[in-house]
Amino acid sequence: MNKNFTYAALLIVVIGLIGIYVLDIRMSDEVSTQVNVGDDNLQNEQASTEGDVINVDEEIERTKHLQAGRKEIMDGMLEGGLASRIENPSGSPFIYVMEPFYLLSTDEQVSLLNVILYYYMTEDRYSDVLTIFSDETGQEIGTYTPSGLLMGE
């Protein structure tokens, strides 16, 4: 019973941190939108000619100031029992997820994985695939990229 209570409490803390992170991004988006309203046509032309790479690079630059918050969320995942390991050896980030991670909704999982991926991508632009492993089996169970989550059956 205490173990479940601890997981629930830590899950609430992690979700709260995600909420703060998302709110900060939305506030940054509003400021960026207000500043760049006159440049919409130029941005649309650049995005269509240079593809998704420019969007990811711009997102990294725009959210660099969130690194400390991202690290807090990652530490919370480890302390809260959602993950046992989150590492980036040789530019190949990975996470070992634990049972409570599976209890999260897909949107919550994606939010957490996005935090981790952008934490590592901000430091190394080419660390653009987060590999997901099961802590229980040690097997790869999925990947997360800026394009989205891909989980095995």
Instruction: Read off the pLDDT of residues 34-72 as tens digits, 9 standing for 90 and up.
Output: 333 333 433 443 444 345 555 777 888 888 899 999 999
C-alpha–C-alpha distance, residues 25 and 23, integer Å: 5
Average pLDDT over residues 102-131: 93
Give the SS3 label for residue 97: strand
Q: Is a pLDDT exceeding 50 seen at residue 87? A: yes
pLDDT surpasses 70 at 2: no
Rg (CA), the chain: 17
DSSP 150: E
Give the residues across from 17 on adjacent strands: none
Task: Over range 88-108, report the average pLDDT.
Answer: 94
Q: Is the pLDDT of residue 11 over 70?
A: no
Judge whether residue 85 has pLDDT over 50.
yes
pTM: 0.66
pLDDT confidence band for 152 (50 / 70 / 90): confident
Distance CA 133, CA 96 (A): 5
Per-residue confidence band for 32, with pLDDT thresholds at 50, 70 and 90: very low
Helix, coil or strand: residue 147: coil
Lowest-pLDDT range of 14-18, 119-123, 142-146: 14-18
Confidence band, pLDDT 50/70/90 cuts, at residue 153: low
